[in-house]
Amino acid sequence: MRLGSLQLPNNLFLAPMAGITDFPFRQLIREIGGGLTFTEMVSAEGLLRKGKPFLKLEEGEHPVSVQLFGSKPEALAEAACQAQAMGAVAIDLNMGCPAKQVVKTGAGAALMCSPERVRAILTQMRQEITCPLTIKIRSGWDERQINAVEISKLAEDCGVDAITIHPRTREQAFRGRANWNLIAGVKSAVQIPVIGNGDARNPTLIQKMLVETGCDGVMIGRGALGNPWIFRRLNSHSGKRASEIPLQERWNVIQRHLIIIQDYYGKVGSIYQIRKHLYWYTKGLPCCTSFHAILSRLKELDALFGAFHHYFESIQRREEWPLQESMERQSVTGQG
């Protein structure tokens, strides 16, 4: 897929998610086959105040897009220029975040209510950067103000290279169903690539979104939690859910992710991150409730790794009923 001057390996995108799309997760998705990853949402003014410590892009990290939020054209343009200099291959403007602390500043989904401010922001950002410029929008502020098509046309006029649309209103947040018909409406209204987002939780739904809306790509957010295999839509596991991925492959990928996390955050700093991802990875597997109860009590990294390996070895041996008792013994041993 082509994004402005940027040629991407495929049309599957990892959505920016606060506290999730850090470097280890982005790296894992790249290794598995994602086309483009996005950083967590970055405050433009925060980046300008704090510089590189506020945005960490690793050497050789490619391709990665930096998603910025803010409401001031000058700050967003300067931050975009700085992010490009740090190695971002694209800059994305967040116009969809529904969080109160974001919209009260006029940023995120609040921009959907201010077309002229959007025009000023995009025009200035486009003048300052040479890499692709994209936006992520919602349907509108609420059901009385659905203006995604109008905002998309405006963005195209300002030189934006692609549009991602999550077809829920700010009022909906993440509730209810995403209105895929609106993705199709935006696609028919503009000539630039349109990326669909919302309720594409497995390969079957990804394919359905592509066919029904005509969108050029799909951005995957919550569907990737504990399920990085969703980005292997075109390989031998096409159409399979995470729970149907062979156990040995699950083990290998999870272990790889945990190692990247440990290398990046260090032995102490990685504990919370590893525990969080292990919950997602094992959700729905045999005796996962017992395993999750064990995880919540483990405070040492070696104990977390030990519990993870013991859990998967127990599943392989099909020791499902004795699993809780044996894991209790393992957790006691692991905590010393």
- For residue 122, the Cα-to-chain-centroid distance in whole angstroms is 23
DSSP-derived secondary structure letter, 181: H
Percentages (nearest 5) of helix, strand, coil residues in the chain: 50, 15, 35
> Is 310 in a helix, a strand, or coil?
helix
Integer CA distances (angstroms), 251 to 73, 223, 258, 305, 310, in order: 46, 19, 11, 12, 11
Polymer length of the chain: 336
DSSP-derived secondary structure letter, 330: H
DSSP states along 26-89 = HHHHHHHT-SEEEPPPEEHHHHHHH-GGGS---TT--SEEEEEE-S-HHHHHHHHHHHHHTT-S
Integer CA distances (angstroms), 271 to 163, 236, 267, 277, 331, in order: 36, 33, 7, 10, 15
Residues involved in catalysis: 97
